[in-house]
């Protein structure tokens, strides 16, 4: 999201990404489902945040690997295993593999930290209409 939102649309009332029955609070490094904390390894939490922030858009394998393992060489198998673990938690259909390219977070993200929920809903609706 490269566009800037006006100050009137920004608020601290929302500090989580919400999708399905989950709530991801990046500031607290917490994922919860039905108000119960879901334990994730730090890299899995980072991967989920990267995918959720780019929901509905392709995130390349290389971008994920660079984000999760900066200046460390790891094989794609590490990423594949991490995505598999995430799918077990957030649902198999939440993360789509784009063969030979990367991954896309498919679940609709209903809110975004720092933006009033009503403003974000209008933004999502405008995106739907534009598509």
How far apart are the C-alpha atoms of 66 and 94, rounded to whole Å?
A: 22
For domain 13-130, give the CATH number.
1.10.10.10
Which pLDDT score is estimated for 127? 75
The residues facing 23 across adjacent strands are 18, 32
Q: Please tell me what DSSP assigns to residue 93.
A: G
72's enclosing H/E stretch is none
pLDDT tier, 15 (very low <50, low <70, confident <90, very high otherwise): confident
Percent of the chain with pLDDT over 70: 79
**C-alpha distances in Å from residue 34, one per residue of 21, 50, 62, 68, 96:** 6, 22, 33, 27, 24
Please tell me the predicted confidence (pLDDT) of residue 120. Answer: 64
The pTM (predicted TM-score) of the whole model is 0.74
Residue range 111-130: mean pLDDT, rounded = 69
């Amino acid at each position: 999201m490269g566009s800037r939102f006006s100050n009137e649309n920004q608020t601290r009332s929302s500090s989580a990404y919400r999708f399905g029955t989950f709530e991801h609070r990046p500031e607290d490094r917490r994922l919860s489902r039905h108000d119960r904390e879901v334990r994730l390894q730090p890299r899995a939490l980072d991967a989920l945040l990267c995918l959720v922030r780019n929901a509905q858009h392709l995130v390349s394998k290389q971008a994920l690997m660079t984000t999760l393992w900066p200046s460390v060489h790891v094989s794609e198998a590490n990423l594949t295993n991490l995505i598999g673990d995430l799918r077990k938690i957030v649902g198999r259909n939440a993360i789509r593999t784009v063969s030979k390219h990367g991954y896309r977070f498919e679940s609709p993200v209903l809110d975004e930290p720092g933006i009033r929920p009503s403003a974000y809903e209008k933004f999502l609706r405008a995106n739907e209409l534009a598509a």
